[in-house]
Amino acid sequence: MKLVFGFTVLLLIGFALGNEVFSEETKSAFAFAFDFDFISKQTSSSSSFNVMDYGAVGNGLVDDSQAFDEAWKAVCSANVGEETATLVVPQGKTFLLDALVFEGPCLPKTLHFQIGGSVIAPQGTSWGNGQVDAWIHFSSIENLILDGGGTINGQGSSWWQPCMKTSAFGFFFDCQRRPVALHFHNCSGLRLKGLTHLDSPMLHISINDCKDVVLSHLHIMAPGDSPNTDGIDISNSINVQIQDSTIGTGDDCVAINGGSSFINIIGVNCGPGHGISIGSLGDGAFDTVEGVHVKNCNFSNTQNGVRIKTFKVRVVRILKMVSYFRIILMKKEIVGWFGFRQNISFEQILFDNVKNPIIIDQFYEEKIRYRSYGIWEKAAGGIKVSDVTYSDVRGTSASEQAINLDCNNGVGCSNIVMRNIDITPSGGGGGPNIQGLCHNAHGTAFHVKPQVPCLS
Round to whole Å and give the CA distance between 72 and 85. 10
Spatial contact of 363 and 380, defined as CB atoms under 8 Å apart: no
Q: Is 35 exposed, middle or buried (0-12, 13-18, 19+ CB in 10 A)?
A: exposed
Q: Residue 383's beta-bridge partner residues?
A: 339
- Residue 264 CA to residue 330 CA, distance in Å, equals 45
CB 297 within 8 A of CB 269: yes
d(CA 294, CA 391): 11
Integer CA distances (angstroms), 32 to 35, 37, 40, 41, in order: 5, 9, 8, 12
- Tell me how far apart the alpha carbons of residues 41 and 44 are, in angstroms, rounded to a whole number: 6
CA distance 99 to 243: 28
Q: How far apart are CA 366 and CA 170, in angstroms?
A: 10
Question: How far, in whole angstroms, is CA 262 from its chain's centroid?
Answer: 16
Q: Name the residue among 271, 453, 415, 283 with its Cα closest to residue 357.
A: 271
Measured between its terminal Cα atoms, the distance across the chain in Å is 104
Residue 111, exposed/middle/buried by CB under 10 A (0-12, 13-18, 19+)? buried
Which helix (H) or strand (E) segment holds residue 108: the answer is none
Would you name the residues annotated as active-site residues?
Answer: 274
Residues listed for the chain: 456
